[in-house]
Structure 1
Amino acid sequence: MDVTATGSDVPPMIRLSGVGKTYEDGTVAVHELDLEVAAGELVVLVGPSGCGKSTTLKMINRLIEPTTGTIEIDGQDVTRSDPVQLRRGIGYVIQQVGLFPHQSIETNVMTVPLLYGESKATARDRAHTLMNLVGLEPATYAGRYPHQLSGGQRQRVGVARALAADPPVLLMDEPFGAVDPVVRVRLQDEFLRLQQELGKTVVLVTHDIDEAVKMGDRVAVFAAGGRLAQYATPAELLARPADEVVSDFVGSTSGLRRLSVTPLALEHLEPMDGVSAGDLGAAIDLDSTLEQALAVMLRDDRPMVGVKDGARFVGVLTPLGVHQALRASLAE
């Protein structure tokens, strides 16, 4: 299995070659890791506690120095770079957020542009733009302090601050882990919207396989001893776990998770013959997933759901169509 493939001929934005980390007591945190992340790709590192995923993330920006191997960002070996300058050019978001408690939200977001020598006016404009982008109205929040914000709001500020220098690479270590489940889902959705708009190269660490499947373009599953067990798209990971370790980690509900990553296809729809729009509940878009389709069927208590491509109905999806789509995706 080629775990370093980027899926295109374009050179990767991030390349780890033979990267390892062994501590003085002999503990192997990461073992000979080869990993490539394409420009604009969101890759999730997932696995049980102590498997080396956070260590890997911190080696990319040299918060932890690798013992062996090379790490390149946009073709440059970061182990030969000044670590302070390197970190200023990489966005970094952590679970605890790490905001400066005695500085306003506006000043927190302005920090890195000011370090780069931007004028206060330019840095403030950038901060306000980013605050709007993450859903924090500057007129309301710019003058507030971290303790005056909810956990979810502080996490948004952390994302805004990480984006303030417009970095090509964004590293995120359990960024949504410190908030309640409802807020977590909302933050995940908001970040996916941001990523679609900004197209950053993102490496995100989580221990939650559901979050990994939802967020990642590709998912790297780590096993004990810092070994890369599998590197694949969410759909491939759920359909074909590489070994028992991956299968156990993905768990017995992988079939349900697969619904969330399997898109609709025209060949799995039935024609609208004899079916009027009035016979259907709410319609879904052709780019929806099977999970979204089933959710609408259950909510509307209907045996089918209409599917649109733009404003035009292109067919209906029934439970049989869902079954056929799942079988087809497993056979790919």
Structure 2
Amino acid sequence: MDATASDQPPATTGSGEEPMIRLTGVGKTYDDGTVAVHELDLDVARGELVCLVGPSGCGKSTTLKMINRLIEPSTGQIVVDGQDVTQVDPNALRRGIGYVIQQVGLFPHQRVEANVMTVPLLYGESRATARARAHELLALVGLEPELYAQRYPHQLSGGQQQRVGVARALAADPPVLLMDEPFGAVDPVVRTRLQDEFGRLQRELGKTVVLVTHDIDEAVRMGDRVAIFADGGRLAQYGTPQEVLARPADEFVEDFVGATRGLRRLAVTRIDEAHLEPLEGVTAGQLGAAIDLDSTLEEALALMMRDDKSMIGVRRGARFLGVLTPAGVHRQLRASLMP
């Protein structure tokens, strides 16, 4: 049975706090009758990173562009930081929302420094202040200003250009950042590194982020919550990565997350002390390298296989808490399926 947006529980933050972004009954129908987005209700909490994921043509990029009115909604209401976006001048709205796209969109004739300075200068900042802000942000995204500020975009790798795009989007210190397939144009190794670095940056800055991707692995790796869109612009499921992987809402979601969703759950499930076993009776030959309690089950299993050990020590700081075995991993995964 299909789970339409109206069949689902309200896609709210669940915290009682007003969300940073709220979409209520939002839809987009084009003149030829094509429904791109269907009656979407969606809340994004302050400081949350939400991934919109689904097949091509399912409305996820359209939804993103309606938030900053690059596309006008046909129905419904979009509220950002307490303000109805349709009541705001579109240009002023977009200057207050960071926007990062796959193609980056850097100005090719301007140096990196000038690209990042663009929005602060539009806001009336002095060149000295805007330059200092640009250098601060370049350092924040891992590009040393002394090396990169005076280069042109064509002198950078794809991953470096993407970092400049993120720095430019952050230059006006926006509370909201919209990202459309931001890491899709770089090779897999660089992509994973950029995902990790952006996740660290987002946690550090506390920005509210809505990120569009077609890659379920990227969505569950990066998102605090994941919104899975189906054809016809229907919201099929909205939940944490653990919820989506453990309890797909319908057959479409089950097919989309794939038969290997059990393996994906290893990457989004952190070690639970309740499923460790005591150190007593464990010999040094049985025990592999120790791992921090904040690590994922995937990282723990990878270390076991690397060291060819049947268990791994788990610590919190300098204190050992117990050992994790494959049986403990299995118990924890089973426990996470319980309602």
Q: TM-score, normalised by structure 1?
A: 0.98
Partner of 1:171: 178
1:324 pairs, out of 316, 331, 335, with 331
Map 1:138-177; keep pairs closer than 5 Å: 138-177=145-184
- Give the CA deviation at 1:280: 2.9
Does residue 245 of the first structure (1) align with residue 252 of the second (2)?
yes
- Give the CA deviation at 1:281: 2.8
Partner of 1:46: 53
- Give the CA deviation at 1:227: 0.6
Partner of 2:94: 87
Does residue 113 of the first structure (1) align with residue 138 of the second (2)?
no
Which amino acid letter does the alignment assign opposite residue 244 of structure 1?
Answer: E
Deviations 1:187-216 (A, max 9, x none): 001100101101100000000000000010
Q: Is the contact between residue 29 and residue 52 of structure 1 (CA under 8 Å) also seen in structure 2?
A: yes
- Give the CA deviation at 1:276: 5.9
Does residue 280 of the first structure (1) align with residue 287 of the second (2)?
yes
- Give the CA deviation at 1:262: 1.3
Which amino acid letter does the alignment assign opposite residue 65 of structure 2?
Answer: K
Partner of 2:301: 294
Partner of 1:133: 140
2:316 pairs, out of 305, 309, 314, with 309
* Distance in 2 (alpha carbons) for counterparts of 1:125 and 1:30: 41
Deviations 1:84-133 (A, max 9, x none): 00000000000000000000000000100000001111111111111001
SS of the residue corresponding to residue 260 of structure 1 reads helix
Which amino acid letter does the alignment assign opposite residue 78 of structure 1?
Answer: V
* Distance in 2 (alpha carbons) for counterparts of 1:3 and 1:92: 27
* Distance in 1 (alpha carbons) for counterparts of 2:214 and 2:86: 27
SS of the residue corresponding to residue 91 of structure 1 reads strand
Q: Is the contact between residue 283 and residue 305 of structure 1 (CA under 8 Å) also seen in structure 2?
A: yes
Partner of 1:71: 78
Partner of 1:11: 18
Partner of 2:107: 100
- Name the stretch that deviates more: 59-68 or 278-287: 278-287
Q: Is the contact between residue 288 and residue 313 of structure 2 (CA under 8 Å) also seen in structure 1?
A: yes
- Give the CA deviation at 1:274: 2.8
Does residue 192 of the first structure (1) align with residue 199 of the second (2)?
yes
Q: Structure 1 stretches of 5 or more lacking a match?
A: none
Partner of 2:216: 209
* Distance in 1 (alpha carbons) for counterparts of 2:242 and 2:111: 42
- Give the CA deviation at 1:277: 6.2
Does residue 233 of the first structure (1) align with residue 240 of the second (2)?
yes
- Give the CA deviation at 1:5: 1.7
Partner of 2:4: none
Which amino acid letter does the alignment assign opposite residue 142 of structure 1?
Answer: A
Q: Is the contact between residue 270 and residue 316 of structure 1 (CA under 8 Å) also seen in structure 2?
A: yes
* Distance in 2 (alpha carbons) for counterparts of 1:135 and 1:178: 19
Q: Is the contact between residue 286 and residue 309 of structure 2 (CA under 8 Å) also seen in structure 1?
A: no
* Distance in 2 (alpha carbons) for counterparts of 1:176 and 1:79: 30
Partner of 2:3: none
* Distance in 2 (alpha carbons) for counterparts of 1:201 and 1:100: 26
Partner of 1:260: 267
Q: Is the contact between residue 3 and residue 231 of structure 1 (CA under 8 Å) also seen in structure 2?
A: no
Map 1:53-68; keep pairs closer than 5 Å: 53-68=60-75
SS of the residue corresponding to residue 292 of structure 1 reads helix
- Give the CA deviation at 1:225: 0.5
Q: Structure 2 stretches of 5 or more lacking a match?
A: 1-7
Percent identity reads: 79
Q: Is the contact between residue 282 and residue 300 of structure 1 (CA under 8 Å) also seen in structure 2?
A: yes
* Distance in 1 (alpha carbons) for counterparts of 2:166 and 2:237: 28
* Distance in 1 (alpha carbons) for counterparts of 2:19 and 2:284: 47
